[in-house]
Amino acid sequence: MRRWGKEARHPASGGVVPMQGDTGTGGLMGRMPREIGIVDDHEAVRDALLEMVQEAGYAAVAFSSATAALARIGEHRPALVLLDMMMPEVDGADFLARLARLRDARSVPVIVVSAIGHLLQGLRGPTSTR
């Protein structure tokens, strides 16, 4: 990633990407969140998301379980979380409920990245092409 002082420019949009140690007006207590969290139990999906986020110029950390992600988020608030909904032990809905109970993490944006749509489509059956 190219660095100009304490910031980097996003390669596609030219927007500023906060770097480790930066402070700004956003985030908690004036600190700018610095990484994107990825939570998915499937290694191939997790690795693909991690690669896409990093290639776009963002710092990222990936977790195979919601429990591990919540522990990290409790200590280090991410800028965003990409979340799989269908995971063993603690699923995405449970993760969201627990995240809401973390005082400093309530405002963390979450994007659901899941194959649940494919499952629902399978339950509905094939669509007709009239």
Answer yes or no: is 25 within a domain.
no
Answer yes or no: is 7 within a domain.
no
Instruction: Look at the chain and report how many structural domains it folds into.
Output: 1
For residues 76 and 6, which has the higher predicted lDDT (pLDDT)?
76
CATH code of the domain in which 117 resides = 3.40.50.2300
Answer yes or no: is 5 within a domain.
no
Domain with 89 in it: 31-124
Q: How far apart are CA 15 and CA 122, in angstroms?
A: 40
pLDDT of 36 higher than 90:
yes
Answer yes or no: is 2 within a domain.
no
For residues 106 and 47, which has the higher predicted lDDT (pLDDT)?
47
Answer yes or no: is 16 within a domain.
no
Reading the block at residue 12, the tokens are: 């596609």
Reading the block at residue 88, the tokens are: 């063993």
Among all chains, which residue has been given the structure tokens 């009239």? 130
Answer yes or no: is 112 within a domain.
yes
The pTM of this model reads 0.65
